[in-house]
Structure 1
Amino acid sequence: MSRRDDLDALSSKELHDRAVRRAERHLDVKFLWNLMQVVPAANAAAGQTDQADYDVAHWSGQVADTFRDDDGKLSDALRPVYLDYLEQHPDA
């Protein structure tokens, strides 16, 4: 089984937790910044357009959504981002 298959078997919440924890531990500001930038689009893709609008207007919402996992639609929308990051960093 490949690393990607192993990661793909995890829940979106587990992927979020691993990716964010790895980025915090390694001070990977680039990943966290990129994640923060895609949060509004991920909210929109998840059907949470009100939250997407709020995140665009208030950067604090983007920051909160970057670190907080809602264990739902947002995590599922961000799943490919987490998978790519974790696949590139096998130490996570």
Structure 2
Amino acid sequence: MAASEDGYLPVMEDDFEQLSTDELRDRAVEHAKRHWDVRFFWRLLKLIPAAEAVSGRTEVSEASVAQASGFLYEALAEESDPGVQEALRPVYIDYLREHVN
């Protein structure tokens, strides 16, 4: 059986349960990176604090929220291209209208 473009041997959908969590994570992250699936990474960022709380690490889950928002803020602050910032302007307005007041 030939390996796929990411170097992994193909797995039938029903066989995913047989893979280790590390293998599942590696495959999912690699696939998302190859396909520029930002939604997947955003979903992980949103779920990590809850997963940490479920695993009994509540103090870490609060820190994760702060850390994730800090990473995003840094990324946005580093993007100093006025054209990019103007393109994001409607997103900021929509979000604030939806969540503030």
Do these two structures clear the TM 0.5 threshold for a shared fold by scoring above it?
yes
Q: Which runs of 5+ in 2 are unaligned?
A: 1-10, 73-101
**Following TM superposition, by how much is the alpha carbon of 1:60 offset from its aligned partner in structure 2, in angstroms?**
6.3
- 1:52-91 to 2 correspondences below 5 Å: 52-59=61-68
- 1:6-85 to 2 correspondences below 5 Å: 6-59=15-68
SS at match of 1:14: helix
Percent of aligned positions that are identical: 45
Q: Count residues in correspondence.
A: 62
Query: Following superposition, which runs of at least 4 residues in structure 1 exceed 3 angstroms of deviation?
Result: 60-63
Quick check: 1:40–1:62 contact (8 Å CA) kept in 2?
no
Larger Cα-atom Rg = 2
Q: What TM-score, normalized to structure 2?
A: 0.53
2:70 and 2:32 map into 1 onto residues whose CA distance is 19
1:41 and 1:31 map into 2 onto residues whose CA distance is 16
Q: Which runs of 5+ in 1 are unaligned?
A: 64-92
Q: What do you get for the CA RMSD once the two structures are aligned? A: 2.4
